[in-house]
Amino acid sequence: MRVLQFLFFFALATTTSLGLGGCKEDIAQPSVETPPHAEILFMQAAPLAPGVDLYIDDKTVVTNATFGQFTTSYTETETGLHQVRIFPTGTTTTPLVDATLNFTKSEHYTIFAVNNAAGTAINVLHFADNLTAPAPGKAHIRIAHLVSDGSKIKFSFRATGKGPLFNDVPFMEKTEAFIPVDTGAVTMRVHAVGVSGGGMSGSGPDEVITPDLPFTLESGGIYTIAVVGTIANDSAHMVVIKHERLHE
Residue 119's pLDDT is 79
Report the first-to-last Cα separation within the chain, whole angstroms: 63
How far is it, in rounded angstroms, from Cα 200 to Cα 83? 36
With a pLDDT cut of 70, the percent of the chain lying above it is 81
User: Residue 64 belongs to what domain range?
Assistant: 37-129
Please check whether residue 207 is in contact with residue 191, taking contact to mean a CB–CB distance below 8 angstroms: yes
Per-residue pLDDT reduced to its tens digit, 219-240: 999 999 999 999 998 999 999 9
Q: What is the model's pLDDT at position 170?
A: 95
Between CA 142 and CA 175 the distance in angstroms is: 7
Q: What is the pLDDT of residue 213?
A: 97
Cβ atoms < 10 Å from Cβ of 120: 9
**Between residues 64 and 117, which one has the greater pLDDT?**
64
Q: Are residues 167 and 111 in the same domain?
A: no
Give yes or no for residue 2 having a pLDDT over 80: no
Nearest to 52 by CA among 70, 74, 39: 70
With contact defined as beta carbons under 8 Å apart, do 152 and 170 qualify? Answer: yes
Beta pairing class for 222-228 and 138-145: parallel
Mean pLDDT of 77-90: 96
Residue 163 sits in a domain whose CATH number is 2.60.40
45 lies in some domain: yes
Rounded Cα gap, residues 97 and 230, in angstroms? 20
Could you tell me if residue 16 is inside a domain? Answer: no
How does residue 196 score in pLDDT terms, banded at 50, 70 and 90?
low
Residue 23 CA to residue 3 CA, distance in Å, equals: 30
Tens-digit pLDDT profile for residues 115-173: 988 878 899 999 999 999 999 999 999 999 999 998 999 999 998 888 899 999 999 99
Model pTM above 0.85? no
Last residue of a domain, one of 96, 129, 162: 129
More confident residue, 44 or 26: 44
DSSP-assigned letter for residue 165: S
118 or 185: which leads in pLDDT: 185
Structurally, the chain folds into a number of domains equal to 2
In this predicted structure, the answer to whether residue 3 has a pLDDT above a threshold of 50 is: no
Amino acid at position 216, single letter? T
The pairing of beta strand 108-115 with beta strand 38-44: parallel
Residues 248 and 136 placed together within one structural domain of the fold: yes
The answer as to whether 1 is a domain residue is no
Q: Residue 8: its pLDDT value, please?
A: 39
Co-location of 72 and 143 in the same domain: no
Residue 50 maps to a domain: yes
Instruction: Answer yes or no: do 65 and 157 share one domain.
Output: no
